[in-house]
Structure 1
Amino acid sequence: MDTTQPAGEDLVKHFPNAKEDSHTLAYRFNETGEGLCYYSSGRVAMAVSNVGDHQKRFYVYDDDKDKTMLCSLNELAVGFAINNTRKHSNRGARLVLTKGGGVYSNGEGTIQSEWKWDRKAQNAGVIPASGIVMPLNKNFKLAFEDRFMISITYEVEGIIRHFDCGLKLKRMDSYLDTATRNNLGRLEITSSDYRTLNQRQTDFALSMTALRNKNNPKSENLSSMVNAIVGDLESHFDTYDSDKRSLPSLHLHAAKVDAFNTTCSELPKIKRTDTDIHFEGGYSSALYLDSKSASTYKFSAKDTARPILLKPDGTWKSDVEIRLALMTLEHPPLPKPTHIKRSNGHYSYNHNARPIKKRVGETLRSASTVKEKGELSEMLKGRLGDMGSFIDSLKNR
């Protein structure tokens, strides 16, 4: 029984009938198969670690202070195993596995079997037909048939667990096993499971249809319950860009022309003389006057200036006066809403702030109904004098 991949309650096991002062944990594994096995003494007996999604490494230790390693097998079924069982007739037997083959020797060091994995190689040797079964110690046993059939059995105080330590490959066969040669001598793959790159791309696109429909659902991929509703939405919104966004919403050219004409209308005109250079285009038609218009045009700056720049007596306003006129006449602030007027005063520093009204009526002192008495004043003066004398006497102590 292979229990390399534990599940459910088989992830953790404790020793039965353990004493209170003893170690009760027999083994602990996670869902991927990694974990540790323990002896009843609490020492680590076996460690299993993951290399990939289907390959593991196995390490077995003896129950001694030196933690002697009894077996080590990696993901390629390369490693060793040694029989270290006390009072065993074949103690010292070894099994060594490499990438090329394997060697098995008895307790005296004599090689019993030697072989290569490539059965067609020269002097390939033979794996024992009955396999190799050797104890590692009194709690572990290794069974070997070939590099794909290797198992280790853990047995401590009645708890038994089997581990499949053989070589694990994603693909056990080769394309060449089923390939055939055509008339030209070229190998052709005949596997029915072979799929081309285009077919795999098509399969991937179909598998992603459900995920794509979450972001951009299409009526053709939906059920009959909602495809009619989604179809009506598609007929309305699919042409939105061409129907609505194709027309320009801002007339930038007309806006530039209006801004240019407004600017030129605010500038004073200039009379052309014989020494002026003749300009074509640009500001020439906007700034210069012809001879007929110049005869009736007033070239005084005050006559062409905006009224906001001049005082009533015809003199120029100062910079502060111009800025104040712009803020109050041409760009007045909006009236303050009622909810801002009632706020805590952060918004009250402007021309809409309420002026401070002078208090009208009697003050608190003049409105008081209590009349002062001379006896009360004299009594207070006396007590203040007594307190001063007492303080002076304390200072002179």
Structure 2
Amino acid sequence: MIYLDYQATTPLAPEALDAMLPWLRDGFANPHSAHRPARAAKAAVEVARGEVAHLVPAGGRVAFTSGATEALNWAIKGTAGGLVTLATEHAAVLDTVAAERARGRAVTVLPVGSDGLVDLDAARAAIVPGTGLVAAMLVNNEIGVVQPVAELAAMAHAAGAVMLCDAVQGYGRVAIPDTVDLVAVSAHKVHGPKGIGALWMRDGVAPAPLLRGGDQEDGRSGTLSPALCAGFGTAARLMRERAGEDAAHVAALWDVAESILAGWTINGAVEERYRGNINIRRDGLDVNRMMSDLRDVAFSAGSACASGSGRSSHVLRAIGLSDAQARSSVRIGWGRYTTEAALRDGLVRIVAAAGAQGIAA
């Protein structure tokens, strides 16, 4: 299997697995108890918390959650005032914002251009006094575009609002602006385990609790898994230690992809983007047929969170693509464990499968 779907999830780092195993096998104590085994488990949780904190702005605190979806829900539902967000946000933000609108909160969903970047003039007009929260994704999960989060944060603060950054795809890869107030991250997008994420909160910013029943995380209730925390912490440490090496590898693979996919149209900005994600299209391409023909190549027709919905990508429609063009697009993602040979082989097969449909490369 050639795995080219890094935006959906990343392979678990062997070091993260090794860090988890002792806590799965022997270190099963509840980290919120008071006896000696529990204190050892608590210590492991705190070490992991420190590692996760290295890749978010300095200061503030990291609260572990079940994943980024919970973190985003907590940040959005736990704040007051009007909501401003982008049309290309993840469903975890857009669906939550829609639910808040149904409860009576004012909501503005900002448009993006054909490059996928937010219209800053529209943002400036929308982020006004009375706005409580501005939410924007650092790196888009479908098209890889890097949004001007720092500029949006400045507008939010000028209006007296809080800035939430969905950094799931950018964490450890693209610098998170120091001026944001809330940051949501997920372990399984950085070679950590599934089932754990975190919400970083700037000092003085404390969303109302989403989950109640113990307050184990000072605003978030629920027993933590030392194993998941240890895996996340190790994955975060590796993202920090290997940042230069990983970035160089990803950039080199981007060059390979661009050369093989010459003639395909790239969806979204080419310059303002993370280079481990390429979303491309060929008009008339039957993506479902291609995926059926290439069962040993893992890539995506859009967000994994929306697969099976029957809808074309809301992100691609937001950048101006027709429904037919959106359905003729594929997302290909690579990273630390992708070899150049595997990427070349996978892309050559994708091009060949398109050719078999009568669509020239």
* TM-score class normalised by the smaller sequence: under 0.3
Larger radius of gyration: 1
What TM-score does the superposition give when structure 2 sets the normalisation length?
Answer: 0.19
Greater fraction helix: 2
Q: Relative contact order, CA 8 A, sep 6+: which one is greater?
A: 2
Greater fraction strand: 1
What TM-score does the superposition give when structure 1 sets the normalisation length?
Answer: 0.18
